[in-house]
Amino acid sequence: MQALVQTPSEKNIFESLLKEQNIFRDRNAITPHFTPKRLPFRDKQISELSFTLRNALQGKKADNIFVYGKVGTGKTCTVKFVMQQLEAFALQNNGRAETVYVNCRTYNSKYKVLQRVMQKFFAEESFVGFSSSFVFEKLLDYARKNKKHLLICLDEIDKVKDLDDLIYALTRANDELEKSSVSVVGISNNILFKDKLDTRTKSALCELEMVFPPYNAEELRQILSERISLAFQDNVVDQSAINLASAVAARESGDARTAVMLLLRAGEFAEKSKSSKITDSDIIKAKRKVEEELVFNLISTLPLQQQLVLFAISSLSVNGKGTRKITGSEENILFSGDVYGEYNRIASSLGETVVSARWYREYVSELETYGLIITTQSGKGIRGSTRLIKLACDPEKIFNTLKKEIMKSA
């Protein structure tokens, strides 16, 4: 076989490809992981957070804070911004306050959170394999010896399995510390989560509560305009495309992540079709893709039991077994009791715990708050009165994704 060797006169295959990339200036700036230097419409939250956390800079324990808000309302980027500012200020001054950010989607147990915290404070050492209590004592020693006021941000805190234990340990730490302290900033987008906490954990965590409201279309338009000037070449994005993306994201949920993702995917579509402009039609194409990505991202991080309930719903919807046509409605709807039966069958066949009907109803409510399903109460006459369930997304896609996810964890 002849090797493909390029002679000097021939053009490299990447040359024209890279020249064509004239849409993006800095693609990274329009990804959801990017933390912009300016956060419009979050001044109030920034000043409230910094006002409470300033205690750590003044040698005092800062109150614990619980930050709640729907997806994409800027919780993560705002808290990260304030903590970065605080740490930078502390470094230039007495260095007594230190922060650590933990994403509990990845570090989802007390043990894993502590490991992550230690990685920040003891960059050179590994504590893997040591017991939680040993690691915890080391952390306290560190705070004590260095007279540090530690601020631990637990993002997506609802993902921590043994949260009561973790919060108890972190709060109790302060009883043993004199010239140092540990404070927690917890973040969640799950409104039902707080009510499930142990009363003691709840009052410890929520010394101060902050709510991040959704953005309206005009706010999203301004946020997007700032990001666009960083991410795209001049005059690439049509004004009407910006307006459309803001309106779509505002209507869906007031979510800046959706808005940013719409522009990112629309940019990729425009680039692929070698167009020099992002237009309304790119946004419309992007909308479908982004919706799918957000749903799949969400369901792949659900706890296993909720995945099993959703799997039961999608399985019945796909094979049409449990769906019924309700008089006066064209939609295929499931009865809650049928779903519970199917859930029982699936969980048992996988050797997983089968939760009680009470917990099952709880999971159904959670799936509804995530917008994955829609439920209504039937009128009298349909088996007395029962909860009717309908999938809010494409059953086949949900079914196939969950099948893979569940197999992974089984």
Ligand X SMILES: Nc1ncnc2c1ncn2[C@@H]1O[C@H](COP(=O)(O)OP(=O)(O)OP(=O)(O)O)[C@@H](O)[C@H]1O
Nearer to Mg ion among residue 64 and residue 189 (C-beta): 189
Among 49, 53, 74, 210, binds ligand X (CB under 6 A): 74
If one asks whether residue 262 binds ligand X (CB under 6 A), the answer comes out as: no
Measure Cα distances from 243 to 120, 229, 290 in Å. Answer: 42, 15, 17
Q: Does 296 bind ligand X (CB under 6 A)?
A: no
Cα angle at 17 between 13 and 18, to 5 degrees? 115
Q: Which is nearer to ligand X, 222 or 378 (CB)?
A: 222
Contact pick of 197, 260, 278, 389 for ligand X (by CB under 6 A): 260
- Can you tell me which of 23, 160, 210, 223 binds ligand X, judged by CB under 6 A? 223
Residue 191, burial from CB neighbour count under 10 angstroms (0-12, 13-18, 19+): middle
Tell which one of 23, 29, 65, 77 touches ligand X (CB under 6 A). Answer: 77
What are the phi and psi torsion angles at 192 (to 5°)? -80, -15
To the nearest whole angstrom, how small is the minimum distance from the Cβ of residue 215 to ligand X? 7
In the complex, what is the shortest distance from the CB of residue 2 to ligand X, in angstroms, rounded to a whole number?
48
State yes or no: residue 108 binds ligand X (CB under 6 A): no
Comparing CB distances to ligand X, the nearer of 53 and 294 is 294
Q: Is residue 41 part of the contact set for ligand X (CB under 6 A)?
A: yes
Stretch that binds ligand X, among 13-21, 64-72, 171-179, 195-203 (CB under 6 A): 64-72
Q: Which residue, chain included where needed, has tokens 């109790």?
A: 172
Q: How many Å apart are CA 410 and CA 404, to the nearest integer?
A: 10
Binding window for Mg ion (CB under 5 A); candidates: 35-43, 76-84, 238-246, 400-408: 76-84
What does the angle CA 124 – CA 125 – CA 131 come to, to the nearest 5 degrees? 160
| Residue 272 CB-density burial (10 A; 0-12 exposed, 13-18 middle, 19+ buried) | exposed
**Spatial distance between the Cα atoms of 397 and 267, rounded to a whole number of angstroms:** 25
CA–CA dist 21, 115 (Å, integer): 42
- The partner residues of 161 in beta bridges, in order of sequence, read none
Q: Residue 195 and residue 169: Cα distance in Å, rounded?
A: 20
Which string of x and - marks every residue 317-356 that binds Mg ion (by CB under 5 A)? ----------------------------------------
Q: Is 202 exposed, middle or buried (0-12, 13-18, 19+ CB in 10 A)?
A: middle
Whether residue 283 contacts residue 262, with contact meaning beta carbons closer than 8 Å, is answered with: yes
Nearer to ligand X, 49 or 173 (CB): 49
Q: Is 76 in the site for Mg ion (CB under 5 A)?
A: yes
- Pick the stretch among 66-74, 107-115, 130-138, 274-282 that binds ligand X (CB under 6 A): 66-74
Which of Mg ion, ligand X, none binds 36 (CB below 5-8 Å, type-dependent)? ligand X
Half-sphere exposure of residue 184, counting CA atoms within 13 Å on the CB side?
29
| Interface with ligand X, residue 39, by CB under 6 A | yes
**Bridge partner list, 182:** 150
Q: Which of 72, 214, 267, 322 binds ligand X (CB under 6 A)?
A: 72
* Residue 69 binds ligand X, judged by CB under 6 A: yes
Alpha-carbon span 240 to 308, nearest angstrom: 42
Whichever of 28 and 94 has its CB closer to ligand X, that residue is 28
DSSP per residue, 137-192: HHHHHHHHHHT-EEEEEEETGGG-TTHHHHHHHHHHHHHH-SS-EEEEEEEE--TT
* Least distance in angstroms from the C-beta of 81 to Mg ion: 13
Element (H, E) at 296: helix 280-300
> Does residue 305 touch Mg ion according to CB under 5 A?
no
Range 303-342, binding ligand X (CB under 6 A): none
The interface partner of residue 116, options being ligand X, Mg ion, none and the CB cut-off 5 to 8 Å by kind, is none
* From the list Mg ion, ligand X, none, partner contacted by residue 71 (C-beta under 5 to 8 A by kind): ligand X
According to the binding rule CB under 6 A, does residue 265 interact with ligand X? no
Q: Which of residues 188-207 bind ligand X (CB under 6 A)?
A: 189
Which residue number has the CB closest to Mg ion?
76
Angle between helices 217-231 and 239-252 (to 10 degrees): 130
Does 78 sit near Mg ion (CB under 5 A)? no
Q: What's the min distance (Å) between Cβ of 103 and Mg ion?
A: 8
Q: Which residues of this protein are in contact with ligand X, per CB under 6 A?
A: 32, 34, 36, 39-42, 69, 71-77, 189, 223, 256-257, 260
Q: Which residues of this protein are in contact with Mg ion, per CB under 5 A?
A: 76
